[in-house]
Amino acid sequence: MALKVLSPAKVNLFLRVSGKRPDGYHDILSLMQPVSLYDDIEIEAGEGEGISVSSDNPALPVGAENLAHRAASAFLKKLGKTKSVSIHIKKRIPVGAGLGGGSSNAASVLMGLNELTGAGFDEAVLMDIGSRLGSDVPFFILKSGALAAGRGTELKRVKVPEFGYILINPGYHVSTAWVYGNLDLTKKPENNKLTYSVASFREGFEVGDLYNDLESVTLKEHPDLAEYKKILVKNGALGALMSGSGPTVFGVYTDGESAQKAYAAVKACLDETVSAFAVKGL
């Protein structure tokens, strides 16, 4: 049995960090939207045992540390059965880019194996398995824009405008742990969760709400990212922001067509080591 699935990236339209938790994670409040940049994943499940992961991207670890591998293992443990599982990941989402590629791959494997094996686990069960793998994994199981609270696993579906985006990835990796470790939490006001509350989203999201507490840490180490933001705004973006812990930055456009029209001009401003993608919100 084999199944091919599309595994989308995400952007954080805002990300507030309100403190460090006893479990080592951080409490956040973030608005996330999946976008139309996808990895292609092929999953096969059959009789036998053993999990294998392969990829066309040599930068992607394919052993037991890979999130897709861990997702398959966690799923089979919940299922209580042994299966032979083979996963191939064709990467389009840059690795370690702040776009949630690994978490999305894990979510896709959980949902794919749920279909292939006929397990019939509901969304809540899959999200519970996913939450033990990584903070962003449950978000991708929702298949929706969402407001994420706690360590990112407390989710509420939110209707986000169908913005267009241009993503710029500089081609290097930024450690999420390093970024959080260098964030000065003493500067975080207690009213973050009051300003950015679930209730406020009944009135909708405005581009002026773009904000990321992690941006100052990453941009201090990588000032080139600020230049990419300027390029995006110069080429018609309504606003620009870093996604997650970076290093990918994105420009927000009114719709996918507007982003596509601006793409060539943005790309012309970048050197060959820098990647750019025109996408739309899902």
The 10s digit of each residue's pLDDT in 20-77 is: 777 777 788 899 999 999 999 999 999 999 999 999 999 899 999 999 999 999 999 9
Residue 193 — very low, low, confident or very high, per pLDDT cuts 50/70/90?
very low
Reported as a single tens digit per residue, the pLDDT across 260-273 is 999 999 999 999 99
**Shared domain check, 105 and 245:** no
Domain end, chosen from 131, 157, 183, is at 157
Higher pLDDT, 1 or 3: 3
pTM above 0.75, yes or no: yes
Higher pLDDT, 212 or 25: 212
* CA separation, residue 108 to residues 157, 202, 243 (Å): 18, 29, 21
pLDDT (average), residues 93-106: 95
pLDDT score recorded for residue 185: 63
pLDDT (average), residues 126-148: 94
Domain end, chosen from 127, 157, 187, is at 157
- List 27, 136, 229, 280, catalytic entry: 136
Reported as a single tens digit per residue, the pLDDT across 224-235 is 999 999 999 999
**Shared domain check, 120 and 235:** no
Inter-residue contact 114 to 126 (CB < 8 Å):
yes
Residues in Cβ contact with 17 at an 8 Å cutoff, skipping those fewer than 6 apart: 26, 27, 28, 180, 183, 185, 188, 213, 214
**Shared domain check, 30 and 142:** yes
| Residue 40, strand partner residues | 6, 90
Residue 199 — very low, low, confident or very high, per pLDDT cuts 50/70/90?
very low
How many whole angstroms separate alpha carbon 267 and alpha carbon 272? 9
Domain end, chosen from 89, 124, 157, is at 157
How many whole angstroms separate alpha carbon 117 and alpha carbon 102? 22
pLDDT score recorded for residue 175: 87
Reported as a single tens digit per residue, the pLDDT across 104-122 is 999 999 999 999 999 999 9
pLDDT score recorded for residue 205: 67
Q: From 244, 248, 186, select the one nearest 212 (Cα to Cα).
A: 244
**Shared domain check, 6 and 146:** yes
**Shared domain check, 234 and 174:** yes
pLDDT (average), residues 201-217: 76
pLDDT higher than threshold 90 for residue 206? no
Q: What domain range is 255 assigned to?
A: 164-280
> What is the sign of the dihedral through the CA atoms of 232, 233, 238 and 239?
positive
pLDDT score recorded for residue 75: 98
Reported as a single tens digit per residue, the pLDDT across 141-183 is 999 999 998 878 889 998 888 899 999 999 999 988 888 888 8
pLDDT higher than threshold 50 for residue 202? no
pLDDT score recorded for residue 220: 94
Query: Which residue bears the tokens 């194996």?
Result: 113
> What percentage of the chain has pLDDT greater than the value 70?
92
**Shared domain check, 188 and 149:** no
Indicate if 10 belongs to the active site.
yes
Return the CATH number at 204.
3.30.70.890
